[in-house]
Amino acid sequence: NNSTQLELILLVYRFLNEELTIYGQSIQAQRRRQILNQIQKRVNDILLCLIRISNDLLTAPEQHERLTQTCLLCVNSFLTWVEYNHFEQYELFLCELFLKFFQLNSVKLRHASFECLLSLINKRLARRQLQQQQQQRNKRIALSPAAALNCHQEKLFLNYFLGDNTLEMFYRLLISPTDSLEQLRSIVTNDHINCLKMFGQFLVKLSNYLLQLFQQLATKSIDDNEFLTFVNERTLSFLQFLLLLNQHPFHLLSLNSYQALNLFIIRQTTLLSNEQFCLKLIFNLKQSLHRIHFPSPSAALVFTDNENELLKTQHIHNQQCFIYALFEYDSEEQFFWKFFSQYRSELQKLIKSFIGLFFTENVTDIEMNMSCLKLILENLFIYLESLVQRTPNETSDSLSTSLSSIYLIIEWEACYLLIDHVLFIVRKELFSSSASAIKFQEKFQLLLITPTIKEQFLRTLKFLLQFTPSLSEHIHGHVLNLLSCMFFITEHDQALAIQIIQRLLTTFQTYQEQAIVGGDKNQCETMQTQSSNAFLYLCKNFTAKMIEYYSELFPFLCQLYKNEFQLTKTFLSITVDEMSCPTLKLLDAAKILFYHKLTHATILDNNQLEEFYEFIKPVFEILNISLKADTLTLFIEYLDLCSNQLESTNIIRYRRRSLMLALHCLCLILRLFKQQQLDFNIRSKLSICLRPILFDYILKVTQFCNQLYDRQINPSYDILKANLTYSDTERQLYLGTYESNNMAKATITSTVAPSSTPASYVRSQATSNVTINDERLRDYLHRLFDICYQINGIYFAYDTDLYYLKLNDDNYLLTTYLQKILFENFNTLPSFRLRIVLRHFCRLFVENYISPSSTDKETIDELFLKFLNAFLPYIQQRLTTMWSNLSATAINYQQGQCSDEVIEECVCVLITRDFIDIIRYFIFKTIPGQINSNSSNKKKNKTNSGRNNSESMCEEINTDLDQIDEWDEQNTNNSISNKLLNSSNEKADYSDLFMNMIKMSRQNSTLALHLFSNLIRILFECLTFPDAYCVNRFLPIILPITKLYTDIIDKHVNTSSLIDIKLLFQCLLKAVEKHNENEGVNTNLISLIGHIYELWYNQYGKQIDLILHQTVPQINIELLNTYKTRLATMNDNNNKKQQQQQQQITERERRDTFKNLLNPILLSPISSKTKEGLNSTNPFNM
């Protein structure tokens, strides 16, 4: 009975502590200390009592397991919030006590005691940091006796945590509790995994602790030599321990051990001269980069005697990884996508930072570092040679599926990644063009590329050139990529450079020919991707060198590119993956060489024009055949979108794929063209070559894509309906965005796009063929729509003359064009397609518009304003409907939000944000040279840095489905700061078009006044959307623009026909109510309401007072009247400047007044009717 009461008391304490911790985080440190001082005596008594109880429970913990656990967690809840000095005197006793609990058999107690240990270290670390900061600030504190390092205490503390006995105990009880796989299965439970996760954090904390200790030792003169020896000895033990954990089968613990090592290497660079340590780390990285192989249940594993020991240990390690992975993830696929790819990219970053550290500018260390790096390179070459020798040249069916082959393929992948990343940094440092690096380059080159190393490089290259593995196309791919990353060494042997280029292109050609006659589809596709990838790498990184061979290379590349369009093979996919499509890589490489020649030219000769046509011809031919159809029905029939199967599957697949490929090629040609700094004449000549494709084909296919969604025009709408919804790719993208914004981020800090699925793992598809085909078709239609609008947008981005183009005397292209691709089918497009139109087309279209300098400037500006006047209110109205529908469903779906609602919400937020950006592009100037800077540069950087030098196979992000998380990409672009609203004194940089609209409004132009009124209404209405991003983006611009607008309409006789002032003011009050929980947003909104009230008070005072009385229950009329009197006296004194300055209402005053006036809305819980807020579920409220 007593124990139950005690447990209850402990639980109450724990609950109170957790509340206190949360409260403590939200109040100021000073207030926190006050509270602590008030309860200090009590805390001391309680802590002492708890420690005593814990100690007593140690005698018979098994009988009272639950009570002991509660007691430990209660102690931990105190440790997390009390100050360090409260338990400083018991610290060593606590260490000992917790370690004793840790050694018991109960996993629950082990877990609880470990949490306490972690809290202890955190507190000690925080205390140490605080002391150091104080000492740095104040020399007197630093010199006081209290600041001296207590060597005895430190020694005891380190011995508890890093003593050999403790490390051995951690290893035995936690890290390697058993050798038997069967027992491991029973040991791996939630508790065990949580303990390992905490242990990972514990390692990183200990590393930080040791590093801080080193820092202190460096600044203080310590006489105790024994202590210094002891610290060094413990540190070495700890580093050995971390190296041991690198290979732990639980991947997260392995990652933490690498992170802890990384902390050490960065701050203790003397480690770089420790050859044994460096080689061990590189060896571990190589092992960890292996994919783990998930055994198929059918394969029976019998090891023959002659199978080597290495294979057996690898197999056992693999099985252990498998047990851990499948405990946390549902399937191998989930483990790869959700965790392993990120784990591996973290390791790749680590390799780069590790190798980068060798290139120091500290003259004393250069020699040591270079000799160690040389050793690493030599070891890598030896390893690569042994790998080549172990790879069988002959292949048989039994061999290619055997376990040893699978492991070999995985090992090649790891070896390639490692060498690729090491050489990437070596190359960057030896051949960098930055001024600071150049002075050390010669020294690095001398010390690193010694005759022996050069010899080894060249020997390895020759060795690889003669090696054509037939065991697996993946190994062959890695060999080609290795050749391209070692290309830089060919400056010592010209003949090798030519051999490498020949090897890459002939491999591509061989597999292309095999594919045309119908060879193994998977193999051909992999090999073409890998060889084109390696070749593209050479063109990007060694452009000047490749140009030397331009005359022979270019015709050959064009031929290969043309042949790609002749492939009638039954490709596995009908869509084109921008990241792995060999055709696009080949085109990219050829274009790089072509433009490199062109940038140095001022006139375009016929040869170059012919060469440019070579790129467009195949695209033109395919589009010509694919888009012969004049009606939607014929187009549907041609691509067999209704799956009538009148033609053979192969023909239909070929038609679908070739159309998609042609569009992707066109998009790439345009994108690359846009990035070039070409001479104006050359640019306009090339633009004219590309225009016919837009007029004849792109317009047509875009119209068809739009008409598919229109029930009136599309006769097959009902049959196609199922395929006109979200594709799986989109669904995952939207749900992923929702999750990543809502859930706590994964334990891995940075996320990178998943790397390719492993070579050894080809997913077997259990689903029926019909569903796969449906899914593929859905995906195809989504991508077709997407790529068409990308092309439309990019045409206007690079060829701005299109805005001013006349079709005949009185007809501009702009009118017909917009009618065809936007307005005709706007109403029937579903929201998730509208999102693509806004993102890929409308944003670029508005962003890149520049008022012409020609005579018809006014006509064209007016056309564009007409477009905006139709477009902006339409989208606003759709958004309002979407948000109100969502609010309705939010109330019903609060509990179990199903994925469709989540997707709707996500799409709605995205459209809103794109719409806001479009409005900002219309109002503000885009700084030239920064046009589309962020979105295109991101893409440019992705493409450049993607394969750039290194991250070839595994790190590029799929730009085809632009990552949704680029929301804030204009934050850096627009120099409009989000200071508060008084930015009216700063001159805003308005766009010419916007200024023209204001000028026309002052001249009473109906169009301009109408558009301006619409714009103001939209700005105010957007504030009422639940997404706080809208408010943040519009707050700084509403006031200056409303002032401009008020200035214009005050001179207008009939204001009410233009705008409803009451509605605008109502929007402001509604916004305050909607964003009530967001303090930052609300403070600014209340301030804005004050400014707007003052702006409109003279002209429209009665109207806005009426709204205040209607909206705010029990408004403080006295306060309002005092404020109005203030405004009236201010206006009377307008001419007496000095008085006016005294009378001026301050920002603080204005805010406080309106805060008090609006208090009834702010304090009352908003009724469910008005709370359309979605605040509870909106994942994007920043």
Domain-embedded: residue 108: yes
Residues 325 and 192 in one domain: no
Least confident segment among 634-643, 882-891, 953-962, 1090-1099: 953-962
Greatest C-alpha distance within the chain: 105
Confidence category of residue 1138, pLDDT binned at 50, 70, 90:
low
Q: Quickly list DSSP for 162-186.
A: HSHHHHHHHIIIII---S-HHHHHH
Q: What is the pLDDT of residues 892-924, one digit of tens each?
A: 655 555 677 888 888 999 999 999 999 999 999
Identity of the residue numbered 64: H
Percentage of the chain modeled with pLDDT above 70: 83
Question: 918 and 846 in contact (C-beta within 8 Å)?
Answer: yes
Question: 885 and 1174 in contact (C-beta within 8 Å)?
Answer: no
Identity of the residue numbered 727: S
Question: 906 and 1179 in contact (C-beta within 8 Å)?
Answer: yes
Domain-embedded: residue 592: no
Rg (C-alpha) for the chain, rounded Å, is 35
Domain-embedded: residue 726: no
Domain-embedded: residue 279: yes
Nearest Cα to 874, choosing from 915, 921, 909?
A: 915
Residue 924, SS3 per DSSP: strand
Q: Quickly list DSSP for 779-811.
A: HHHHHHHHHHHHHHHHHHHH-GGGGG-EEETTE
Least confident segment among 37-51, 199-213, 336-350, 782-796: 37-51
What is the per-residue pLDDT for 951?
Answer: 39
Q: What is the pLDDT of residues 1112-1125, one digit of tens each?
A: 888 888 888 888 88
How far, in Å, CA of 871 to CA of 866, rounded?
9
Residues 66 and 205 in one domain: no
More confident residue, 893 or 971: 893
Residues 1133 and 1031 in one domain: yes
Least confident segment among 47-51, 797-801, 1062-1066: 47-51
What is the per-residue pLDDT for 146?
Answer: 63
Residues 326 and 416 in one domain: yes
SS3 content of the chain, % helix, strand, coil (to 5): 75, 0, 25
pTM of the model: 0.81
Residues 196 and 52 in one domain: no
Q: What is the pLDDT of residues 877-892, one digit of tens each?
A: 999 999 998 888 766 6
Q: How many Cβ atoms sit within 10 Å of the Cβ of residue 716?
A: 15
Domain of residue 412, residue span: 275-492
How far, in Å, CA of 708 to CA of 380, rounded?
56
Asked if pLDDT for residue 785 goes beyond 90, the answer is: yes
- Of 97, 131, 147, the residue that ends a domain is 147
How many domains does the structure of the chain reveal? 4
Domain-embedded: residue 662: no
Residues 77 and 165 in one domain: no
Domain-embedded: residue 132: yes
Residues 131 and 189 in one domain: no
Residues 199 and 312 in one domain: no
Domain-embedded: residue 330: yes
Asked if pLDDT for residue 272 goes beyond 90, the answer is: no
Residues 298 and 429 in one domain: yes
Q: Over 296-363, what HEC string results?
A: CCCCCCCCCCCCCHHHHHHHHHHHHHHHHHHHHCCCHHHHHHHHHHHHHHHHHHHHHHHHHHHCCCCH
Q: What is the pLDDT of residues 218-257, one digit of tens each?
A: 777 676 778 888 888 999 999 999 999 999 999 999 999 9
Question: 478 and 410 in contact (C-beta within 8 Å)?
Answer: no
Residues 44 and 71 in one domain: yes
- Of 461, 492, 523, the residue that ends a domain is 492
Question: What length does the chain have?
Answer: 1182
Averaged pLDDT, 773-784 = 85
How far, in Å, CA of 1182 to CA of 1172, rounded?
18
CA distances from 1115 to 273, 714, 1124, 1158 (A): 75, 57, 14, 7
Question: 1027 and 909 in contact (C-beta within 8 Å)?
Answer: yes
Q: What is the pLDDT of residues 818-835, one digit of tens each?
A: 998 889 888 999 999 999
How far, in Å, CA of 263 to CA of 244, rounded?
17
Tokens of 334: 């989930």
Residue ranges of alpha helices (H) inside 27-106 are 29-38, 40-57, 65-81, 84-87, 91-102
Residues 49 and 99 in one domain: yes
Nearest Cα to 918, choosing from 844, 1021, 971?
A: 844
Asked if pLDDT for residue 406 goes beyond 70, the answer is: yes
Q: What's the mean per-residue pLDDT of the chain?
A: 81
Q: What is the pLDDT of residues 806-821, one digit of tens each?
A: 888 778 898 899 998 8
What is the per-residue pLDDT for 1085?
Answer: 92
What is the per-residue pLDDT for 1141?
Answer: 55
Confidence category of residue 539, pLDDT binned at 50, 70, 90:
very high
What is the per-residue pLDDT for 473?
Answer: 86
Q: How many Cβ atoms sit within 10 Å of the Cβ of residue 159?
A: 16
What is the per-residue pLDDT for 809?
Answer: 77
Domain-embedded: residue 956: no
What is the per-residue pLDDT for 958?
Answer: 35
Averaged pLDDT, 421-435 = 83
Question: 869 and 1011 in contact (C-beta within 8 Å)?
Answer: yes
What is the per-residue pLDDT for 911?
Answer: 93
- Of 101, 124, 147, the residue that ends a domain is 147
Nearest Cα to 383, choosing from 465, 482, 299, 277?
A: 482
Least confident segment among 244-258, 292-306, 738-752, 998-1012: 738-752
Least confident segment among 44-58, 361-375, 473-487, 1128-1142: 1128-1142
Residues 420 and 356 in one domain: yes
Confidence category of residue 436, pLDDT binned at 50, 70, 90:
low
